Amino acid sequence: MKWGGKQSAYGKSYNIDTPFIYICLLAVSLTFWVVGYVFSIGYPVYGGVLNTPLWNTVCNILPNKSIAYGIGLLLTAGGAFLIHRMNYILAIVREKTLFPFLFYVLLISTDPDFLPLKSTSVGIFCLILAMYQLFISYHETYAVGKAYNAALFMGIGSLFWVHILWFCPLFWVGMYNFKTLNTRTFLASLSGLVTIYWFLLSWCLFRQDFSPFTVTFAALLKIGYRPMTGISPLDWAMIGYVGFLTLISSVYILTHEHDDTLRSRQYLFFLIMSFFLSFFLFFIYEQSSDELLAICCMPISVLLSHFFTVRKGKKQYWSFNIFIFLYIILAFVRLWNFL
């Protein structure tokens, strides 16, 4: 089964970056949203004792299923658009392609655990905004405003999903690698976080209720290792399949680092670190594992796009076809079992 693409005039190059592929991936993603809406997958949206008070409040005021699915779809499309713009402007992937957008939408849409709206839906949107601010500060010694904005977005996201704070040290490592980290930018990043929690503290003092602080940060201490038997074999197949391909993509980037510009390499290295950090947290936060898998989707979408587009050979062509075919089959089987 061919999913599109064509052989070059020289018979050595295969192109998978075609409108037909785009339409197929988008159609599959929208199908999952429609099926999810019809069968009310993930609705009602519930909070929990380990969720932040702000997220629990959002869950309580959602009026109906249409609003929940509409917000979830907008956040997914908005996050995908930001990834696409970031890749397009900063040339993280050399080829001009829509795959970062489509892979992100596909990965989020085809997992019933992510539908329609989760606390991490807002968190990952804020994380993408923060990452964009970090990336455009590359080699800017006086990027105080960008450092502040990045931390501010992460602070906002943490009000909905507190585990996003684990990415703050990673951002400081990124600032160091991008030649942006100095005393002023570091203090600016701290100020961005303090700004959000200063307003939260003021609200707590006004209400004489400090549970937003205690409940929010208590979730960071609820570490419980994920048992291998806690996930179904089909779920492990999906996780292992995508994780293995992402690992191959990461190894390819690390072993062919001179194929990209220095700037692109450092962006890609940061995304690789983001992937491994998310995957590590997935195993130590059992009760937040689904949310952490959603965070993985962001770096995975760019890393897989890089792997499948930088070289247009026969191996890449067929590996892409096999990847898409098997992934969609696994996704539909998992959806069927979920219903």
Q: How confident is the model at residue 183 (pLDDT cuts 50, 70, 90)?
A: very high
pLDDT at 10: 39
Residue 22 neighbours by CB under 8 Å, 6+ apart: 98, 102
Q: What is the tens place of the pLDDT at every residue in 94-148? A: 888 899 999 999 999 998 888 888 888 999 999 999 999 999 999 888 889 999 9
Residue 285 neighbours by CB under 8 Å, 6+ apart: 163, 222, 223, 224, 226, 292
Per-residue pLDDT at 200 exceeds 60: yes
Each domain of the chain, given as residue ranges in start order, spans 13-338
Q: Rounded CA gap, 296 and 243, in Å?
A: 9
Q: How confident is the model at residue 13 (pLDDT cuts 50, 70, 90)?
A: low
pLDDT at 234: 77
Confidence (pTM): 0.89
Give me the amino acid identity at 254. L
Residue 89 neighbours by CB under 8 Å, 6+ apart: 136
Per-residue pLDDT at 205 exceeds 90: no
300: tokens are 């995975």
Q: What is the tens place of the pLDDT at every residue in 282-321? A: 888 776 667 788 889 999 999 999 988 887 777 778 888 8
Q: What is the tens place of the pLDDT at every residue in 64-84? A: 999 999 999 999 999 999 999
Q: Rounded CA gap, 55 and 46, in Å?
A: 9
Per-residue pLDDT at 40 exceeds 50: yes
How many Cα atoms sit within 13 Å of 119 on the Cβ side?
Answer: 29
253: tokens are 């980037």
Per-residue pLDDT at 44 exceeds 80: yes
* Tokens 């061919």 -> residue: 2
Q: How confident is the model at residue 9 (pLDDT cuts 50, 70, 90)?
A: very low
* Tokens 């590590």 -> residue: 280
